[in-house]
Structure 1
Amino acid sequence: MSLAVLAAATLLTASPAEAELQAAVAALPRSSAVHLEGRCLPQGRGAAVGLADADAGRPMTVDTPLRIASNTKTFTAATALRLWEQELLDLEAPIAGLIDPQLDALLRARGYDTGRITVRHLLTHSAGLYDHGSDPRFTQTLFGDPERRWSREDLVRLSMSYAGPQGAPGEKFLYSDTGYILLGDMIERITGQSLAAAVRDQLSLDRLGLASTWWEIMEPQPETAPDRARQFLGEREATGIDASMDLYGGGGLVMSARDMARFMAALFEGRVFARPETLAEMTRPGAHPGGDYYRMGLMAYGEGQAQAYWHSGFWGTVAYYSPGKGVAVAGVTVNQDGYRALDKQVQAQIDGFTPAVPCPGGMGR
């Protein structure tokens, strides 16, 4: 049966809500998947379109894993906050005594005052650190030498070579992959584990049933996970670029749309943190300019019942959660140039969601 015939057959047998989602996803311009989970949705629902690997004829599904890049920051931030709620990490502590001395020396040599930059500054992207990940020179370097194995120190050193301080600590929001690389190092030093092991243990990823989730290089691919989707930047394939280029906290995770939605629901519905105050701290707006937009590993938009928290990833991934509506929506696409259409559709799913049954703690209560 062809993919087109299969999709048509699925639409005929789906519920109205499922059929609407499948039709919306089928209209996306690139191979993509969207999945919904949450307390106000008794059963998750999802849809996918296109191929995860055109050469192999492998269809895209909601369980197809791919590199989620900066969506990993939500996991890194949540792990730091798990350590905070166990009193193993002070959010107001300067990073000078918490990161590897070699990294500290690189930062100080470039003019950063690591005695004034705090853990909170890193989590909220308000440390004044330059973002090497968005520098066009970095992308050119990756495609020029895709098999290079990068260390954490290599990436921090590269960032320091690009630019120095972009502002004083706490002055303003300025997104920086470099800051989350430092957080990853900090987590390893506090836990004595690899970053992958620390995140898996602290966030209870196995208990949450994330069957298509792993940290590249640091962990083996689970037997439950299908093969990764091929990923592209326009016409250029990026699948084979060594994962170490985005591995140490700013990125690193491979996940499916279903697993991303499932984790966002677990995070906001009390299945990750031990205390509700921890989520409140993670989502509390900062006093600095931009602090209302980016919290800790999460961005926010809207107000009241319409408020949602979200994050995206460079290659074309996005995950949202609406506390008022009690639903998470995650989407993935295999090509970055399909991201805008995907994000628009994911937002439409969040904004238009209405529970079919009364939902305690959410809409319909």
Structure 2
Amino acid sequence: MGKEAVREAIEASLKKSVLSNEKLKNVYLLVHSDRHDIHWNMAYGRTGDNEAHPDQSYHTASIGKTFTAVLIALLAEKGLLNMNDKIIRYLPEEVTAGLHVYKDKDYTSDITIEHLLAHTSGLPDFYEEKPKNGKRFIELLLEEPGKEWTALDTVRFSKEYLGPKFEPGKRAHYTNYGYNLLGLIIENVTKMEYSEALHHYLFTPLSMDRTYLSQYSKPAQESVLPDATIVLANRETVFSECHSFKSIYAGGQTVSTSEDLLTFMKALREGRILKEETLASMQSWQKRLTGIDLGQGLMRIRMLPFTDKYTSWGHLGSIASFMLYNPQMDAYVIGNFNNNSYVRQGIQFAFKTYRHLAKLEKKVESM
């Protein structure tokens, strides 16, 4: 199958996803491969009266964790911190007091920066977990979108309503909480706001001019297009108007474009941000039965058992956003379905896209 036929098949599949599901309002996909000389940037659907556009900005959700982790790793390379440092060295007592009390023992002083990066601190996830008494945090955010929650508010909420899962370092438990703490550590080390540090160390040097931290900063280049809407709990939402989501902070508050995300991933993979050995350390995978393995601010997606052909790395987001690179095919698949009930289908779509690209691999092998 030729390149144009593969492109048409992928684009038809993208359009079908919207036309067959009224809950999907807008979808975005960028497929890039230097090996196959392809760069396909697509969009379908609408945001209000505007048709979806490939260059439109969208909320990236937990893809933002990769920015946080890479920034921490960059600061470590500069000698400003060490992955094995205890977090109490960088956080105020307001944060660390009673932070990790598990089975009547306080383990706060045992938590390292690496524990936070790798989701092995044992801390709970304020965003997804349901307290024994009360509503889930995301329910509170949606009920009062005008209320501003800060990173410190998420610390207080977690201490009051949630508890640690295990001792630090015992196993992995995905948590937004740990990444908010990393954001506070970045502020302590750089003496900048977290958003300012993102722009200074990553977005500006990489010319990611359309990328910013929603409700904290502005993009270097404003767009005439509105940011894409997202669907949360079946409600179409203008993310920038939900001030309550300011609380997600260093766990995934970034707005970007598919092109900017590609710029970042290529720079990361090609060693233009971090040293090769630093990236390799971030890719120390903790294998999980779900097929989504956790690294340090990165994920490895094992799309099929018993073969690495479709295995990709990068990160996923809770609104079916994805930023992935497949080494076997030298192909990036980046996109967003902007719906928090479509995460599984979003991963399946990325897998389906790689299966289409595999047809180009067969053509290369036969030449």
Is contact 1:216-1:247 (8 Å) kept? no
Is 2:114 the counterpart of 1:120?
Answer: yes
CA RMSD of aligned residues (A): 2.9
- Pick closer, same or farther for the CA change 1:157–1:36 going to 2, 3 Å: same
Could you give the per-residue CA deviations for residues 44-95 of structure 1, whole angstroms, max 9, x where no partner exists? 2122111022xxx201122221222211001101111111122222111111
Tell whether 2:125 aligns with 1:131. Answer: yes
Deviations 1:5-40 (CA, angstroms, capped at 9, x unpaired): xxxxxxxxx932322221121111322011023443
Counterpart of 1:197? 196
> Which residue type is aligned with residue 143 of structure 1?
L
Query: Alpha-carbon deviations, 1:146-181, whole Å to 9, x = none?
Result: 111112111111011122221010111101110000
**TM-superposed deviation, 1:353:** 2.3
1:97-150 per-residue CA deviation (whole Å, 9 max, x = no partner) reads 122331112515786522111111100101000101102421221122111111
Q: CA deviation at 1:216?
A: 1.4
Residue 149 of structure 2 is aligned to residue 154 of structure 1: no
Query: Which residue number in structure 1 is paired with residue 327 of structure 2?
Result: 323
Give the direction of change, closer, same or farther, for the CA distance of 1:218–1:245 in structure 2 (3 Å limit). Answer: closer
Q: Which runs of 4+ in 1 moved over 4 A?
A: 108-112, 286-292, 354-358, 362-365
Q: How do residues 7-156 of structure 1 correspond to structure 2 at under 5 angstroms? A: 15-29=4-18, 30=24, 31-53=26-48, 57-107=49-99, 112-136=106-130, 137-156=136-155
Secondary structure of the structure 2 residue equivalent to 1:296 = coil
Q: 1:185 to 1:289 in 2, by over 3 A?
A: farther
* 2:296 aligned partner: 296
Change over 3 Å in CA distance of 1:320–1:206 after alignment to 2: same
Contact 1:40 1:326 in 2 (8 A): yes
Decide whether the 8 Å contact of 2:122 with 2:173 is kept in 1: yes
**In structure 1, C-alpha distance between the alignment counterparts of 2:359 and 2:207, rounded to whole Å:** 24
Instruction: After superposition, give the CA deviation of every residue in 1:277-310 in whole Å (9 maximum; x if it has no partner).
Output: 1111111235999999100111113365543113
The counterpart of 1:344, out of the listed 343, 348, 354, is 348
Q: Residues 166 and 330 of structure 1: is their aligned pair in 2 closer, same or farther, counting only changes over 3 Å?
A: same
Question: Which deviates more, 305-314 or 81-90?
Answer: 305-314
Matched ranges for 1:198-347 at <5 A:
198-203=197-202, 205-225=203-223, 226-239=225-238, 240-242=241-243, 244-273=245-274, 275-286=275-286, 293-302=293-302, 304-347=308-351
- Scaled by the length of structure 1, the TM-score of the pair is 0.85
Structure 1 distance, partners of 2:12, 2:262, is 20
- Greater shift, 164-173 or 243-252, is seen at 243-252
The answer to whether the 8 Å contact 1:173/1:289 transfers is no
TM-score w.r.t. the length of structure 2 is 0.84
Q: How far does residue 223 in structure 1 lie from its aligned partner after superposition?
A: 3.1
Segments of 5+ residues of structure 2 without an aligned counterpart are 19-23, 131-135
- Given that residues 354 and 363 in structure 1 are in contact (C-alpha distance below 8 angstroms), is that contact kept between their aligned partners in structure 2? no
Equivalent pairs counted in the alignment come to: 344
Gaps of 5+ in 1: 1-13
Counterpart position of 1:10: none
- Separation in 1, partners of 2:248, 2:193: 12
- Indicate if the aligned counterparts of 1:131 and 1:177 stay in contact, CA closer than 8 A: yes
Q: Higher mean Cα deviation, 144-153 or 257-266?
A: 257-266
Q: 1:172 to 1:290 in 2, by over 3 A?
A: farther
Asked if the contact 1:63–1:259 (Cα under 8 Å) also holds between the matched residues in 2, the reply is: no
3-state DSSP of counterpart to 1:270: coil
Instruction: After superposing the two structures, state which structure 1 stretch, 257-266 or 148-157, moved more.
Output: 257-266
Counterpart residue type for residue 213 of structure 1: T
* d(CA) in 2 for partners of 1:73, 1:109: 25
The alpha-carbon distance between structure 1 residues 288 and 322, as it changes in their structure 2 partners (threshold 3 A), is closer
Residue 133 of structure 2 corresponds to none
Contact conserved, 2:151 with 2:247, CA < 8 A, in 1? no
Secondary structure (helix, strand or coil) at the match of 1:278 reads: helix
Q: Supply the distance in 1 between the matched residues of 2:347 and 2:310 (Cα, whole angstroms).
A: 17
Is contact 2:10–2:356 with CA below 8 Å preserved after alignment? no
Q: Which amino acid aligns with 1:48?
A: A
Deviates more, 1:137-146 or 1:258-267: 258-267
- The answer (yes or no) to whether the contact 2:211–2:260 under 8 Å persists in 1 is yes
Instruction: Report sequence identity in percent.
Output: 26
